[in-house]
Amino acid sequence: MAVQKLPIAKAINESLRKALETDPKVLVMGEDVGKLGGVFRVTDGLQKDFGEDRVIDTPLAESGIVGTAIGLALRGYRPVVEIQFDGFVFPAYDQIVTQLAKMHARALGKVKMPVVIRIPYGGGIGAVEHHSESPEALFAHVAGLKVVSPSSPSDAYWMMQQAIQSDDPVIFFEPKRRYWDKGEVDTDAIPGPLHAARTVREGSDLTLAAYGPMVKVCLEAAAAAQDEGKSLEVIDLRSMSPIDFDAVQASVERTGRLVVVHEAPVFYGSGAEIAARITERCFYHLEAPVLRVGGYHAPYPPARVEEEYLPGLDRVLDAVDRSLAY
Amino acid sequence: MTVESTAARKPRSSNSSSGAGTKRATAKKAPEKKTPAKKAAAKSAAAKSAAREAAPHDAPQHDPELVQLLTPEGKRVEHPEFGIDLTPDELRGLYRDMVLTRRFDAEATSLQRQGELGLWASLLGQEAAQIGSGRALRDDDYVFPTYREHGVAWCRGVPPENLLGMFRGVNNGGWDPNSNNFHLYTIVIGSQTLHATGYAMGVAKDGADSAVIAYFGDGASSQGDVAESFTFSAVYNAPVVFFCQNNQWAISEPTEKQTRVPLYQRARGYGFPGIRVDGNDVLACLAVTKYALERARSGEGPTLVEAFTYRMGAHTTSDDPTKYRRDEEREAWEAKDPIQRLRTYLESEKIADADFFAALDEEQEALGKRVREAVRSMPDPDPMSMFENVYADGSALVDEERAQFAAYQASFADSPVAGEGK
């Protein structure tokens, strides 16, 4: 049963189950994660099998969830906390930024903060406001935090294992509109490093770099571009902090062109950081400026127009055309 | 270290099984105890009057709700619910703790004035609250302080000079919290109450009978994190004591800008007891904290202790209290000084003689000297150290920036590595 075909939500569920089985210090906590199994059922069945003491339904207070998780980590536990939706994380932002991220450094390395914060993020599910945001840059900007996002069931399973094993706090962004996408998960595999990017499609004309929900869009764009005779390479960054710049650099040195794609607003987004660093590293290899495709500097719009806000295949291909036109 | 803290010298002597423990008397009832209905009415009236009052910084001993065992005049009094029985050694130990803590604090204030520290947050006036509660703890208990708990740190055996690193600007915390079960100072107000609650949840999961104590102040009581910590600790019945030092002032804001009810009454709404204790009475603080810790240990959950005290000095060395409060108020509280009242008691009961006080004076001077020398010789950190301990597992980004910074530093003509070739 080493290889199973699972949706992303179930792959995370299996990963949490494995962690709860193998390490008695692992706890799962959050709003509705117990009896209900979470609003997306990611923690379905865990409380039944591991008890209320390890899979903990918490009061509805995000700062309290993260603040007590910090205390539990100080006591030697490894809490995996769920923030129910992206837009609900901000009551906990102070605890995450001010306390969680800095504790290891403040204690001169004497304490560790093995806390995983799971956040279902991103749009495309027709939700009401505060349920569709992509706040990853707000966390990647903070030293002391690691920020990752899987795009496939296999990565969802293995990156969760690695995030829980990490002695650093990890913000684990789950692409909620991909929760039900299925893929193979080999639970006996030997995973690569948590923060390494992966080339998910090889190409020679241009590099698309994306993570989380946008990897699928980029793969579709690359397939469509191939029909027009363009060869696009697609890199799944997997980690927004740190970013595997070496992998992007190696690709751009071959293709000479880079388009970064994310749902989050372009302004001050991770694409800006990638553009700046890749421009420094690959200045003489670049045939065109690094372009970015992402959300606009406007509140996430109502669901009926979110498809216009979110980068789709055409917006990606438009940027590809602009890059190739240089 | 030339001067040992009392904690290091005689660990837990003041809370060993020598009868020092707090007892909740069941036989006696206080004469002022009323029927529940009347009591509630009285409290409600008191709350109303407190809310109306313009300056509620009255003498705390007139409050029937205030637990007191040693009056400001140094008279030992009994309380119907909280008792304490200490040996002469233990009484002298508490006095010594308070005196040395005050001396350390004064030394730090001087060092700030001399430019050796960037800032200092004085505990002047709060010695009894901190020493009383600190001496109630067992070694395996865990403390989550604010940034003013120098007296509690003393009780935990934290070398006093360790507290000064962050105020000098050589680190942002700087000690191993687990070596004395004393967490790092927390500057953002109230955040640590959640850490304490989570830690206490972990203690309960481990099946241990340790307790956790979270320190905070009257200003912090307005923070959402404090409210959330009350909620979490009550829901999970966590073994935590919330020790609020109500020193009447949150920088320039008096307590009435934080609350319309006496702070200890907040606990009731969360479903656990709140007790107001004379925060300038070290005996009462010790007794009440021991009681609250015992509740935590025996699975009865959280307790809120409001130590009613006074910040005799400024908020920090950057503050100027003459802008917002009257000298008379401070003078009224000086008459209730925590150290003087215990000294009066020790002298009148002949528990301490002139030799004791003389020896303590010498010890104070030695402590001041030691702290002065330690601070003045505290080296600035190596600039490269800013890249240390950002992550436990390391980070490629930090490695890259560290290398860039090192190369930049090495590019200067007077750099030790310049000219050595690349």
Instruction: Give the pLDDT confidence of A148-189 residue by residue, as tens digits.
Output: 999 999 999 999 999 999 999 999 999 999 999 999 999 999
Pairing of strands A146-148, A239-241: antiparallel
Chain B positions contacting chain A at CB under 8 Å are 171-179, 183-184, 186, 188, 191, 193-203, 205-206, 224-225, 228-229, 231-232, 235, 388-393, 395-398
**pLDDT given at position B417:** 57
To the nearest whole Å, the CA of B326 is away from the closest chain A CA by 35
Query: What does the pLDDT read at residue B414?
Result: 76
Q: Are B83 and B22 in contact (CB under 8 A)?
A: yes
Q: Give the H or E element holding residue B34.
A: none
DSSP A102: T
Q: Tell me the nearest-neighbour CA distance from B379 into chain A, angstroms.
A: 16
Cβ pair A61, A31 in contact under 8 A: no
Q: Do B397 and B338 have their domain in common?
A: no
Please state, in angstroms and rounded to a whole number, the distance separating the CA atoms of residues B359 and B208. 40
* Domain assignment of residue B180, given as a range: 50-376
Binary contact (A106, B173; C-beta < 8 A) = yes
Same structural domain for residues B372 and B392? Answer: no
Is B345 an active-site residue? Answer: no
Whole-number pLDDT of residue B273: 98
Residue of B nearest to A170 (CA): B391
Q: Does B295 reside within a domain?
A: yes
CB nearest to B184's CB, from A106, A243, A245: A106
How close, in Å, is residue A151 to chain B by CA atoms?
Answer: 22
Smallest CA-to-CA distance from A19 within A169, A179, A166 is with A166
Please report whether residue B318 resides in a domain: yes
Nearest to B344 by CA among B280, B279, B290, B277: B280
Same domain? B341 vs B420? no
* Chain B residues within an 8 Å CB radius of A25: none
Q: Is residue B402 part of a domain?
A: yes
Residues of chain A with pLDDT under 70: 1
Q: For chain B, give percent helix, strand, coil, nearest 5.
A: 50, 10, 45
From-to residues of CATH 3.40.50.920 in chain A: 198-324
Q: Are residues B349 and B247 in the same domain?
A: yes
The counts of H helices and E strands in chain A are 12, 14
Is CATH 3.40.50.920 the classification given to domain A198-324?
yes
Residue A145 one-letter amino acid: L
**Which is catalytic among the residues B52, B324, B376, B408?**
B324
From first to last of its 422 residues, what are the pLDDT tens digits of chain B? 334 444 333 333 333 333 344 444 333 334 443 344 434 444 444 444 443 343 444 444 456 689 999 999 999 999 999 999 999 999 999 999 999 999 999 999 999 999 999 999 999 999 999 999 999 999 999 999 999 999 999 999 999 999 999 999 999 998 999 999 999 999 999 999 999 999 999 999 999 999 999 999 999 999 999 999 999 999 999 999 999 999 999 999 999 999 999 999 999 999 999 999 999 999 999 999 999 999 999 999 999 999 999 999 999 999 999 999 999 999 999 999 999 999 999 999 999 999 999 999 999 999 999 999 999 999 999 999 999 999 999 999 999 999 999 999 999 977 765 444 44
- Chosen for mutation from A26, A29, A74 (greatest number of chain B CBs closer than 10 Å) is A74
- Asked, for residue B219, whether it belongs to a domain, the answer is yes
**Of B230, B297, B307, B295, nearest to B264 (Cα)?**
B307
Residues B256 and B290 in one domain: yes
Same domain, B392 and B348: no
Do the Cβ atoms of A224 and A197 come closer than 8 Å?
no
Q: Are residues B163 and B92 in the same domain?
A: yes
Q: How many domains does chain B have?
A: 2
Nearest by CB to A168, which of B175, B183, B391?
A: B391
Give the pairing of strands B212-217 and B253-254.
unpaired
List the single residue in B203, B229, B231 with the smallest CB-CB distance to A75.
B203
Enter the tokens of residue B144. Answer: 């989550």
- Give the Cα separation of A130 and B414 in Å (integer): 55
How far lies A136's CA from each of A12, A89, A91, A140, A176, in Å?
19, 11, 15, 6, 14
Q: Does some domain include residue B2?
A: no
Could you read off the pLDDT of A106-127 as tens digits, one per residue? 999 999 999 999 999 999 999 9
Say yes or no: B277 and B417 in one domain. Answer: no
CA B384 from centre of chain: 34
Q: Are A310 and A293 in contact (CB under 8 A)?
A: no
Q: Are residues B77 and B170 in the same domain?
A: yes
Contact B198 A59 (CB under 8 A): no
* Chain B residues within 8 A of A75 when measuring between CB atoms: 198-199, 201-203, 206
Nearest to A64 by CA among B229, B97, B340, B105: B229
Buried-state track B102-135, b at ≥16 Cβ within 10 A, e below 16:
bbbbbbbbebbeeebbeebbbbbbbbbbbbbbbb
Residue B413: what pLDDT? Answer: 78
Name the phi and psi angles at A55, rounded to 5. -120, 100
CA distance B422 to chain A (A): 21
CB contact under 8 A, B202 and A146: no
Put simply, the answer to whether A70 touches B229 (Cβ < 8 Å) is: no
Contact (CB<8Å) A106/B199? no
Residue B7 resides in a domain = no
Q: Which residues of A touch B183 (CB under 8 A)?
A: 74
- CB contact at 8 A, A27 and A54: yes
Q: Are residues B343 and B420 in the same domain?
A: no
CATH topology of domain A3-186: Rossmann fold (3.40.50)
Is position B39 within any domain?
no
CB contact under 8 A, A108 and B391: no
Task: For residues A230 and A206, give the distance between their C-alpha atoms in angstroms, rounded to a whole number.
Answer: 8
Tell me, yes or no, whether B397 and B252 share the same domain: no
ipTM of the complex model: 0.97
Query: Residue A96's closest chain B neighbor by CA?
Result: B191
Q: Do B82 and B158 belong to one domain? A: yes
Asked whether the beta carbons of residue A64 and residue B173 sit closer than 8 angstroms, the reply is no
**Test mutation, A102, A108, A249, chain B, max B CBs within 10 A:** A108
Among A144, A244, A246, the residue with its CB nearest the CB of B390 is A144
For chain A, the straight-line distance linking the first and the last C-alpha, in angstroms and rounded, comes to 50
B228: nearest CB among A67, A99, A105: A67
pLDDT confidence of residue B63 = 65
